[in-house]
Amino acid sequence: MSAKTQRFPRFDRLERVVHWCNATLFLILLFTGASLYAGPLSTIVAHRHAVKTIHVYAGLLLPLPLLLGLLLPAGRQLRRDVGRFNRWTLDDRRWWSRRTRASAQLGKFNPGQKLNAVFVGASIVLMLATGSIMRWFEPFPNSIRTGATFVHDWVFIVLIFVIVGHIMFAFADFDSLRSMVRGWVPEQWARRERPRWWAEVVAARSEPEPSDGATGDVEAGRDEGVGKARVGAGEMPVGD
Amino acid sequence: MTDAGSPIGRRVFLGLIGAGAAGVLVGSRVQDFLASHTPKALSLLPLGDHFRFYTVTDGFPKRAPQDYRLTVKGLVERPFTMTYDELRAMPPTMLTKDFQCVTGWRVPGVHWTGVKLGDLLDKAGVQTAGKALRFTSFDGTYTESLTLAQARRNDVIVAYDLEGKPLSSDHGGPARLYVAPMYGYKSCKWLDGIEVVDHVIPGFWENEGYDVDGWVGLSNGRDDQPTSS
């Protein structure tokens, strides 16, 4: 490898915008939600009515970044990455165990990231649905209102741990964290940490005419003027 | 060949949505079970069994006990204003009851100490024209109402201690109304005025749409277990 860092595109601009919109809304919701929920905090913040209004509006906005991203034509790579969250390979299974982790040839995301994405996605649906029942409760019987509050509270507790964990893991891998800001990882990182994904992208690059849809990563790379590295097929670490 | 993987992400996603839907349907029963089978130390967990603090103004009004005054006036023979120490010097009444909020949470077995509202009314001497009470709060906004018959119940007190400790500002201290058989909103916090009037004047929360006669389990379209018989 050359000494100069080769930029290897990971997240396109739309994905990064969706991520940071989501992150901002989640933080607003967690903070306003915590101050509506926890006694000690709620007595410090106290402006309950204003806090409640912010919480409700932020909650209603929450699904929009992801939905828009998925529906817009520019969301091709986002749609593809959501597909990646869905597919769990045998290598993913190997990754969970410390003993077999080293031999796992990962794709673009590790299984923890997939689980995180799936949980956050499901929590958007759950929090929006239960929050709506709590806010517009008139048509619902008591037990449903209590049940909705119960689910909203528990998902909130789990989300705190998931989000704190997400942030800690991000800071533990600075190249990965920075790719959510600037869009690329060093190519060595991709080769080392996500060999299957690295091979996929490199293989797609060497195809003469990229077909629609399947090469989102490469196109994104060209958009940003990065990703010029060419590697021969013989160097690909994945042989199966 | 590349391993395309199994669509486990989708299954986990749908499983979570399904678990959430089930939680909405049976959550109230699960919560009742958990609340009666977990130690109080875990009370920060979302079991629906701890106080949530509401205030009708922007903030929690603070008043030191030495600055606190309670006034009883209106259709009475002997209107008076008493200090915090004078209130505490009156014969105490202790109640241990569940506290039920109209929004759903319920705190089991809360221990209150205070003075029977009926004793304060006797001290002032209600005129025959007096039919109802109007309560005011030193937050300047919160008001409440009771009929005279409701006010004379033995489980209606002006509370100054909670769990054996002086009532904090968050809970409505130095003194608040505590109407054991009714939803929490009837128990006017930061109480500083009791006025005997000739008809019920709906208070703050009643103007927001809650029932004037806020009996637990018999009002506001709810069917909670009564908190006090």
Say whether both B153 and B188 belong to one domain: yes
Compute the nearest-CA separation of B43 from chain A (Å). Answer: 11
Domain enclosing residue B20, as ranges = 8-42
Residue A101 has pLDDT above 50, yes or no: yes
Same domain, B104 and B21: no
Q: Are residues B114 and B15 in the same domain?
A: no
Q: Determine which of A150, A157, A194 to mutate to test the interface with B (most B C-beta atoms within 10 Å).
A: A150
The whole-number pLDDT of residue A1 equals 46
Give me the pLDDT at residue A41, please: 62
pLDDT band at A219 (very low <50, low <70, confident <90, very high): very low
pLDDT tens-place string over residues B95-129: 999 999 887 778 888 999 999 999 999 999 999 99
Q: Are residues B71 and B134 in the same domain?
A: yes
Residues B35, B92 within the same domain: no
Lowest mean pLDDT among A163-167, B88-92, B209-213: B209-213
Q: Nearest by CB to A151, from B7, B27, B50: name it.
A: B27
Q: Is residue B100 part of a domain?
A: yes
How far apart, in Å, do the first and last CA atoms of chain B sit?
Answer: 73
CB contact under 8 A, B8 and A85: no
Q: Within an 8 Å CB–CB cutoff, is residue A20 touching chain B?
A: no
Task: Report the distance separating Cα B111 and Cα A5, nearest Å.
Answer: 67
Cis peptide before B174 (omega within 30 of 0): yes
Mean pLDDT of B137-144: 91
Backbone φ and ψ of B155, nearest 5°: -105, 30
Angle between helices A142-172 and A13-37 (to 10 degrees): 130
Least confident of A10-14, A137-141, A229-233, B176-180: A229-233
Residue B57 counted as domain residue: no
B88 in any annotated domain:
yes
Same domain for B200 and B130? yes
What count of CB pairs under 8 Å joins A to B? Answer: 127
Number of domains in chain B: 2
* Closest residue on chain B to A149 (Cα): B24
ipTM of the complex model? 0.80
Interval A193-211: pLDDT, tens: 999 999 999 998 887 654 5
Average pLDDT (B21-37) is: 80
pLDDT over threshold 70, residue A2: no
What are the residue boundaries of the structural domains of chain A, listed by start? 8-185
Assess if residue B177 is contained within a domain. Answer: yes
| DSSP states along A84-152 | HHH-B-HHHHHHHSTTTGGG----SS-HHHHHHHHHHHHHHHHHHHHHHHHHS-TTS-HHHHHHHHHHH
Max Cα separation, chain B? 96
Would you say B157 and B101 are in contact if contact means Cβ atoms under 8 Å apart?
A: no
Indicate the residue of B1, B7, B44 with minimum beta-carbon distance to A86.
B7
Global pTM value: 0.66
pLDDT of A225 over the 60 cut: no
Domain A8-185 in CATH 1.20.950.20? The answer is yes
- Read off the pLDDT band of A213 (50, 70, 90): very low
Confidence class of residue B170 from pLDDT cuts 50, 70 and 90?
A: confident
Distance (Å) from the alpha carbon of B18 to chain A's nearest alpha carbon:
10
User: Distance from A103 to chain B by nearest Cα, in Å?
Assistant: 15
DSSP A4-59: SPPEEE-S-HHHHHHHHHHHHHHHHHHHHHHHHH-HHHHHHH--HHHHHHHHHHHH
Question: CA–CA separation, A11 vs B11, rounded Å?
Answer: 25
**B49 part of a folded domain:** no
Which A-chain residues 198-237 have CB contacts (< 8 A) with chain B?
A: none
| B34 and B96 together in one domain | no
The confidence score (pLDDT) of residue B169 equals 86
Tell if the CB–CB gap between B55 and A89 is shorter than 8 Å: no
Same domain, B197 and B84: yes
B35 inside domain: yes
B69 & B139 share domain:
yes
In a domain, B115, yes or no: yes
pLDDT band at B46 (very low <50, low <70, confident <90, very high): low
- Which residues, numbered 99 to 158 in chain A, qualify as contacts with chain B under a Cβ-Cβ cut-off of 8 Å? 114-115, 117-119, 121-123, 125-126, 129-130, 133, 142-151, 153-157
| Cα-based angle B16, A72, A6 (whole degrees, multiple of 5) | 90
**What tens digit of pLDDT does each residue of A156-196 get?**
999 999 999 999 999 999 999 999 999 999 999 999 999 99
The per-residue pLDDT for A47 is 72
Same domain, B181 and B98: yes
- CATH at residue B95: 3.90.420.10
Residue B226 resides in a domain: no
